Structure 1
Amino acid sequence: MVDHNLLQRKKLFLFDLDGTLYLGDRLFPGVRELLSAIRARGGQYRFLTNNSSRSVEAYVQKLTRLGVAAESGDFLTSVDALVHYLREHDGQDKRYYVCGTESMKSQLRAAGLTVAERREDANALLMGFDTELTFQKLEDACILLGQGVPYVATNPDWVCPTAYGFVPDCGSVCEMLWRATSRRPIVIGKPEPLMPQLAMLEAGVSAQETLLVGDRIYTDIASGANAGIDTLLVLSGETKEEDLPTSDPQPTFVLPDVAALLNILES
């Protein structure tokens, strides 16, 4: 039974994107109305995504193309969280070999981090969702991991949803590298709590006033649970209803899609 009153008291809504608000270039029904309803009642929302392959500007353009008014301050990506982590935990002498897109590299450089284009110049390895992945990058990563360099990944997602199904995401590539090198990365994005924690700090909202909405148990829902906030699983993406009995953690709420959340907020 979904507690309508509890949902209606939330002040900050943290939305996953792929599989939650849209799939490919298809915006799910009710998204525009839901975002407008949250703002109309004095609430806030942020878009949290583990997808490190594109910049915030690209996400703004995509949502605008789909008919959703958006600006850069509405987004928090796994690359944003990665930059925060590296500034807090890494020294100034790190030179990062990046298994990621040119967009990800540009974001890291813009944040003042040193990106090494050649393996020989690197002393740390960063992994992201790399839609420009080559075997040379995999080989370079294996050599660096064999040398024992620090190893950090943006996210552990096995797959990224598309309009035609799924493609391997960062977690699948990290699993392949583990099979080759017996090294696993430090993971920054969801399911770790850093992204929702940064969003709450920025919005000035408590954990009790926050709701994380996503379609994956092992990233979205786990991230919310790790951050101590309520979670809403929507069944419009990766997770199916038959997965729920054995899922850990369990979401606070389950709804078929975000249109159902809109109905609750307007009831």
Structure 2
Amino acid sequence: MLANIRIVLVQTFHPGNIGASARAMKTMGLSDLVLVNPRCFPDPEASRLAAGAEDLIDNARVATSLAEAVEDCVQVVGASARLRSLPLPHYDEPDALARELVQNATTDPVALVFGRERFGLTNDEIRCCSHQVSIPANPDYGILNLSQAVQVLAYETFRAWRRLPENHFQQPRPAGERQPTREQLGHFHDHLSRVMRQSGFLTQPHARTEAQLQALFARARPSRKELSLLRGLLSALEPSSPDD
């Protein structure tokens, strides 16, 4: 299960933070590290600060976008200290996040996403996530180093994993009840957008309707079977092409 829990670092500026994050991961049994457009990687400083977790650095994958890094994940949680206007489900407590994350990791990949050292994740990157999480800290000085944030959430995840009952691993969730991947959800939203435009429902190119509907489905969290049912409904409503 721990192998299904991915740490994604977006546009990390200092290579030493990559190494320190890898070390934080390895102490908590995590090994899947993905880097999105790092400023400088590979780099000797990353390996030096990994301090025993060089294997994670050597095996780290580099992606060109966050969407690419998490497309196979069923849950993607963006770590953010800022309040957002995007109405995604939000975890106020990391332990609540960790319990749900390890449940989903039983059968499918999940991801914890961390943004840039200076300003974190952009709103477009948050839209690639299914949830957000904040780490409670001193309101007068709530700034955590990147690797410290990774350590806190990795610890909570490892702690939740250790508390799972033994028979949990013997009862995998049926395929139809599993959460869809971000790629599958992306195809659904593209299909929904196409049908809304073809039907004339969407008439304003900059309307927030699509973003609001994406947030609605993020909160509803349809299963793969339910998403397939919705895709079938959209196909039935979709206007036929002239060649049909």
Q: TM-score, normalised by structure 2?
A: 0.33
Q: TM-score, normalised by structure 1?
A: 0.31
